[in-house]
Each structure stands twice: as structure tokens, then as C-alpha cells.
Structure 1
Amino acid sequence: MSRKFIPLSVPHLKGRELELVTHAVETEWVSTGGPFVNEFENNTAQYVNSKSAVSVQNGTSGLHIALQICGVTNDDEVIVPALTFIAAVNPVRYIGATPVFMDCDDSLCMDADKLSEFCVNECSFVNGKLVNNKTKKHIKALIVVHVFGNMGEMEKLMEVADRFNLTVIEDATEAIGTYYTEGQFKGRYAGTIGKVGVYSFNGNKIMTTGGGGMIVSDDEELLRKAKHLTTQAKSDELYYTHDEIGYNYRMTNLQAALGLAQLEQLERFIETKKQNYYLYQQLVKDIPGLSILNFNSRIRSNYWFYSLYVGDEYPLDRDQVIKFLASKQVQVRPIWGLINEQKPYLGSQSYQIERAKDYWSKVVNIPCSSNLGKEDVLYVIECLKNHR
């Protein structure tokens, strides 16, 4: 068998990236000024059918701003998933608020049923506010993460949020291009159902600007506030007058140039990822103990990451699979460590974290780049079949 190195997830830069970045350099618009930033914001908003968008330096800064514009303060609590990348939760601490951790369902996204149980059994709804019975604090918001290009059960999650007056922030950093194909939110993209949505264009995402992210919302006043905060909160740009604490979070013209070229190719990337996903899923069926986790049947996923579930019947455990594939020049990774078990969050409140623990111990992400070839998929499968 070939010993060619197969990376987990790398950019696919075969469109107009060089042309647009070169134009930015030649015109000397390389910082946060320049026409590509506004164009990328407009094109992204148009793609996801949002009224408007505000660019940021990364998804983390986008979530930080989203919490602020939604009015979350250091007196509040925010319900967050235990199974996600820690960048989804750290912004809660940036503003001094307190996270409360929730379990996942079989989509790897937040368990809507447990969320409802927690709100009913562990909280009180007083004067339009959900109050945590344990801490006596106001639970102001809910961060829903659409994991690996999947999409949470937004009908149930929004019903709970509406019932208990929770502001929903969608962490769609892994899910640009994912949308519902049926139900109440048919045609609605990940990131456009809650109050505010955030995307990431990190180097390993389905489309990239190197770093970078985007905030979207149909509330244009919130986005005006977001743009104000991300550009150092200038109330008078000529005389450098600032009316509150702002941030240097705006995307650069160079990043936006890259993003425009990537967005043009996004649907093609999704189609390639879809084909490889189903090829993996079909071939893994012949290997006892292994399976590829499904995406929500009611969505068109962007198929960003593929989750290999290593069951007890397979002769290798998760860590042995990672080590073995690395020896075969195949880059894979475990799912993230549960955030409520990370040192900065020890002692934080969590509610019935059960499924997340199982998926943490059993899931391995396998190569999924949008330039992954059929022969690469076949090689990975052959390695898994001949695990020696």
C-alpha cells in the first residue's frame, strides 16, 4: 500500500484566491480597509439568506461580540454544550458570565430534551426570567453549536428558548452551507435561526480565509452594534472619539479576498465532501465494530467532518486506532475533551453529561478535505480493515 501522507483537513485553494489576493496587494488595500471586506460580508449574507453580516478575525471573536450585543453580562449564566471545541465556551468567561454545561444527543449537538428537563426541573421562571435554582442567577442565553456540519434540533431548541425567554446564539462555525430541508425551518441555514449566528473560516474549515469569521443576524440594529464594537467603537472616526470599549476584530482585506474566492467554490466543496462521506459510510459497513455517524436526516449538511465511531467489537480502541493510522501516514484526531472536565471549568455546573462521555471515548475524525480523492478514502478503509 502507498505510504502517502493523508492530512485530516486542509484548504482547497484552486479557485481565484491568488488573483484576488494579488489584486489586494497590488492596490495596497491589505488591512481592515478595502472593498473586499464589504463585498465578502454582503456575499456571505446573501448566501445564507441573512439580512446582513459583519466580519471578524475569527469565530471566537464573533462569539464574544455576539454575547455582548445580546446583552449577556457578568451577572448572567449561559447554557453551553459540554461536547464542543473550547472556543465556543471561552467567550462566556471573557465577559464574566457563567457557563452551565449540557449533554449532546446522537447528532453530537445539544440534547434538546435534556435542555427542557433542566429548565423545568432545575430552574424557576420568574417575571420572564429563567433563574437557576442552584445559583439563583439569571440564565440569559443559550449557545447552540452545530457540530461537524451537523445541525442541532432547532425546532425543539427554539421552542424551549421561546418558552423560557432565552436568547439563542448559534455557533455555526463548522456549519456554513448546512440548512434544513424540511420542517418548520425548511430552507433556513445554520446560523440564521437564532438571534445571532457566527461562522468561522479557520484553516481547517470547509472554506477558509486563513483566520477570520462572520457574524450574521436579521436584526440590523444588533449588527450595527457589532460593527461598532469590532472597529474600536469609534463614534467619530475623523477625531478618534470612542464611546465605549471596543475591539480590533475586523477582518482584513487580504482575508476577505481569500474568502470571496472560497465562497464561490463552497457548493462544489460540499458536493465533494458529500460523495466522500457516503463512500466512507458504504465501505465501513463491511468492517465489524466501525460505523460513520449519520447527519440529521432533515438537513443538507456541509459534511465538514466525518466521525468514525469505534465500537467495542472492533479489535482496537480509539487511541489505538489513532496511533495505528498515524503509523500508516493517515492523520486523524479524537473528538475534543469535554469542556466541563477541562481545568478552567472544573466545578462548573453540568446536567446529566452521559452521551457526550461515550462519544468522547469512541469517536475519531478521519480525513475529510475537500480535495480528498477516492483513492485516499480507499486507502484509509484498507488500513482500517488490515489493522496490523
Structure 2
Amino acid sequence: MNDTSSQSSLVRRTVDAIQAVVGLKPVVLHEPKFSGNEWIYIKQCLDSTFVSSVGEFVDRFEADLSHYTGAKHAVAVMNGTAALHVALRLAGVQSGDEVLIPTLTFVATANAVVYSGGTPHFVESNERTLGVDPYVLREYLRKNTELRGKQCVNCRTGCVIRALVPMHTFGHPVDIEGILAVARDFYLTVVEDAAESLGSTVCGRHTGTFGLMGTLSFNGNKTITTGGGGAILTNDSALARRAKHLTTTAKLLHRWDFIHDEVGYNYRMPNINAALGCAQLEQLPDLLAAKRQLFQRYQAAFAGIPQLKIFSEPAGCCSNYWLQTMLLDKSVAAQRDAILTSTNDEKIMTRPVWNLMHHLTPYRECPKMELPVAESLANRLINLPSSAHLVTEPKT
């Protein structure tokens, strides 16, 4: 079989395997499922007339998130980027600081660093977790930084490296214990980007609760949605109070006066969005079970195609399987675009991973380490249709 025939065969087998799982009808990458109390809670919100930045559902959603994740506090905000921005500010990031983030991430991670006055410093990924590789990072920091008191300083730029933001990619937990060890040794504050990993745990502990703070996203394409929304998780009561203050325009409590004691942000989650979130969170166990079942179906469908692997959770972790992810063997990496083209031609919405941050125009001049694994992964990863309803609706 020549190379062209071999490529055509792999592409066709890929399409057939996906359709064996999702059926022949057009299918999107990820869409929400509303099958609980969404209409009831939203109507209650409308009937109360409290649809904006205050109301009982905001407090309830924060309490429910805290209970579910095990974090002592949860502060609801308008989106995941806002959550990360405020978390970085509370972590002490200021103008001139560098913040270590994976280059394999969504652009919001890098943007939040810049909003905080910092500079992204891009680090390598691990092929088993898709997240920050703590062992490679440790060696890099050992060779390229120096400790001055309790600060880690980049020898090349002279800037303080203030924080480390590991991201739990596609819901799969990163090696958080390894990362925390590096952070301790190099005096880095850890802020977890758990935007994609609601429901994911490491040894029974929820992602986003290991670092000083963690952040969540409830965008329309996430495992649960508030339409648009995010949250800051922390076990530090003082930080939680400060986060609530900053995200509600830094307004002091008063019966009638408007007193703002510093520059804050209008990052409040509206009550009507929180109402949707309360209903969605009630369904999270069922959604997670469905997404795990979908992973198992994909894994079975692709079992006979050795060049393609459905990405599975790292050992000791429980992933929410937010986005089902296919990893191409290096020998067939050149066929990624052909697979993407053919699947989308068949009305199957597949997507590549994001463009690596250090390739984007705003971030090309930022400091970075050597990134061969991230470069390889970016050319070999494909996200597959991942909606929870795909395991409950009949295939057509």
C-alpha cells in the first residue's frame, strides 16, 4: 500500500470509529445538557426580580461549589479569565514579575498574567498528563534562576518569577504533587488553572484545591455551565474575603452609601447565571458518569487502530473527561490535518489543540524554555465530540 492509500485508509477508519460512537448525524464538539431544575430556578430568579449582581442563587452557588470541591471558600465571578486575573493579583503578581505557565494552554491563561502586570514565561508539558512537567521544570529552574532570599529570579531577565500556574488540560489532572514540590523549593506561589477540570480529582482531592488558589470556568462549552461564569477556590479565609471585595467593585458594605476603598473590578456573577449553575451542579455526578462512559466507547472504537490513542486519565487521578482527546502516533502526525478536514466534512466537529502560546503574536518575545514535547503534542492532538448526551441519545 502506497503512502496516499495508507493515509486515506487511516482517515476513513478514524471517521468510521467516531461515527460508531456518535452516529451519522451532525455532531458538535461539546454542548450543554439541561435536564434538571434549570427552568424552575431561572423562573424563581425572574419572579424575584433579582437577576443581576445580588440574589440568593449567587450565595447558594458559592456554597454548593465549596461543598462539592471541598474548598473552604468559593467566590463566583463572571468568567474563568476574571477568576484567574484576580487570583494572580491576590498571589502578589505585579508589574515586572514573570509567571510560569504552560505554552500548551488556552490564551486566557496568558492574558490573565498580562492583565495582572506580569509576563508569561512558557514551560514544557508532559506527554502523560498534557500539563506542566515538574521534573523538566525543576532542572530548568536550577540552571536558569537563582534564589535571592525567598525570591526566584530569572538570571537572563533579572525579573522575579512570582508564581506558577499549572493547567489541568482537557480535565486531566496534572502532576500536582510534583509541581507543589518545585514551587516550595523555588518560592513560587501556585495558582491552579482548573477551568476545564470541575469534577476531576487527584487521590480523592479536587483539582483547584492544592495551590493557594484555584480557578474554575462555567463557559457554555464546559462540563457544567452558567452561560458565562467562573469561580475562585481557596482555603484561605482572608484571601476569599479579599477576592469577594475586589470582584464586587471594592465596595464597602453600607445601607445606602457608595464607598469604594480601592480599584476593584466589576466581575460579579449575575444571580440568573448562578441559578443556572445551581441546577447544573445538581446534575454533575450524572454528567461525569456519562462522559466516562463516552470515553470508554471511544476507547473501544479505536482499539483496532494502533496509530491512534484515546487519551486516558493519569494514574491515581480521576478525570472529568471534559474533552475526549485523541493522540496520534508520531509516525502518522502528518495526517492530523487530513483527519480534521475529513471529519469536519462529515459534519463531525473535531478540533486541534490551541496554537501554542509562544507562537502567538502578543507572546512571541516572552521568556520560554525549550518546548519539544509541547511542540510535538500540538501537532498530534485532536479533540473529539464530547457532549454528555451522546451516550444517552439514540444514534442515527
Question: Shorter-chain TM-score: what band?
Answer: over 0.9
Q: Do residues 195 (structure 1) and 218 (structure 2) align?
A: no
Instruction: Give the partner amino acid of 1:348.
Output: C
2:250 aligned residue (233, 251, 262):
233
C-alpha offsets along residues 123-163 of structure 1, whole Å, 9 cap, x if unaligned? 00111110100011111100110011101111110001011
In structure 2, the CA distance between the partners of 1:283 and 1:374, relative to structure 1 (3 Å rule), is farther
**Counterpart position of 2:293:** 275
Matched residue, 1:130: 152
The percentage of aligned residue pairs carrying the same residue is: 38
**1:150 corresponds to:** 172
- The alignment yields a C-alpha RMSD, in angstroms, of 1.6
- Greater helix content: 2
Which of the numbers 35, 41, 50 marks the counterpart of 2:56?
35
Q: Closer, same or farther in 2 for the Cα pair 1:315/1:167, shift >3 Å?
A: closer
In 2, are the aligned partners of 1:129 and 1:165 still within 8 Å (CA)? yes
Q: Does 1:319 align with 2:333?
A: no
- Describe the SS at the equivalent of 1:199: strand
How many residue pairs match? The answer is 373
Q: How does 1:325-340 map to 2 (within 5 A)?
A: 325-340=343-358
Moved over 4 A (4+): 312-316
CA contact (8 A) 2:80 2:229 kept: yes
**TM-score in terms of structure 1 length:** 0.93
| Partners of 2:266 and 2:393 in 1: CA distance | 44
Distance (whole Å) between structure 1 residues aligned to residue 333 and residue 173 of structure 2: 31
Q: Distance in 1 between matches of 2:215 and 2:61?
A: 15
Q: Cα distance, 1:117 vs. partner?
A: 1.1
Between 277-286 and 61-70, report the one with greater CA deviation.
Answer: 277-286
Q: Does 1:306 align with 2:324?
A: yes
Decide whether the 8 Å contact of 2:216 with 2:231 is kept in 1.
Answer: yes
- The residue type equivalent to 2:162 in the other structure is K
Question: Compared with structure 1, are the counterparts of its residues 312 and 193 closer, same or farther at alpha carbon in structure 2 (3 Å cutoff)?
Answer: closer
For residues 10 and 224 of structure 1, what CA distance do their matches in structure 2 show? 34
SS in structure 1 at match of 2:161 = strand
Partner SS, residue 49 of structure 2: coil
Match of 1:53 among 74, 80, 102: 74
Select the residue among 228, 232, 248 that pairs with 1:215.
232
Q: Which residue of 1 aligns with 2:3?
A: none
Structure 2 alignment gaps of length 5 or more = 1-18
1:237-259 Cα offsets, whole Å, 9 max, x none, are 43211111111101011100100
Q: Deviations over 1:99-134 (max 9, x none)?
A: 110010011101111210121110001111101000
Question: How far did 1:373 drift?
Answer: 2.7
In 2, distance between residues paired with 1:310 and 1:50?
Answer: 37
**Structure 1 equivalent of residue 118 of structure 2:** 97
- Contact kept in structure 2, 1:332 and 1:367, CA below 8 Å: yes
What amino acid does structure 1 have at the position aligned with 2:271?
N
Measure, in 2, the Cα distance between the counterparts of 1:279 and 1:196: 35
**Structure-2 residue corresponding to 1:369:** 387
